[in-house]
Chain A
Amino acid sequence: QKEVEQNSGPLSVPEGAIASLNCTYSDRVSQSFFWYRQYSGKSPELIMSIYSNGDKEDGRFTAQLNKASQYVSLLIRDSQPSDSATYLCATTGGAGGTSYGKLTFGQGTILTVHP
């Protein structure tokens, strides 16, 4: 059973601070990793994808992947109140190399950015 684990939070940070969101996964052969943002009552919105070890930056967002530790994180710099949402970590790819992209999601971390 593939599992993706996240601290459900809530994580509260002041406006302008760095928010750090963490995720671990159990399936060592997971290949692709995604961060989605979900506002209450809305659908998941893709923020970042990362496929290889290291950091990937996109604007205020940086994703970090460490496959040896089975760990992926998301940093949000200069956090804004509009960043307040649930952040979902998801993985795809699995044993046998056959994958049609099924995403396995974590529970999500609730982030609150207060002014």
Chain B
Amino acid sequence: EPEVTQTPSHQVTQMGQEVILRCVPISNHLYFYWYRQILGQKVEFLVSFYNNEISEKSEIFDDQFSVERPDGSNFTLKIRSTKLEDSAMYFCASSPASDTQYFGPGTRLTVL
């Protein structure tokens, strides 16, 4: 069964550094998403991406964040200058039709 994959599984970085989190969505899906979950808190929406552009973003998704689909398979989330409060699990999800979403295993980001 096809699944969403994410790399790396764990990323440790120093405050102020740039990180890129990578995702490979399910191949015939058209809608892509990033969510994050701070330890012990709700899963929070960051951004949705459709037709090669951002379709919706949350207040969390400020100028420090960007997303890109550099080729036909990868979907990336970049954080330009990480802060301590960016430490969280980051989940990529994809959907065939902006509805039922399937989540990847997540990347645990630790900012020191």
- A contact residues vs B (CB 8 Å cutoff): 32, 34, 36, 42-46, 49, 88, 90, 92, 99-108
Contacts and interface: CB of A to CB of B under 8 A. Distances in A.
B106 A43 contact: yes
A107 B105 contact: no
B63 interface: no
Interface of B is mostly: strand
Contacts of A106: 42
Contacts of B89: 43
Interface string B39-75: 0011111001010000110100000000000000000
A102 B56 contact: yes
A108 to B, nearest CB: 7
Contact of A32 (B41, B91, B99): B99
A25 B52 CA distance: 31
Nearest to B100: A49
Contacts of A90: 43
Nearest to A105: B43
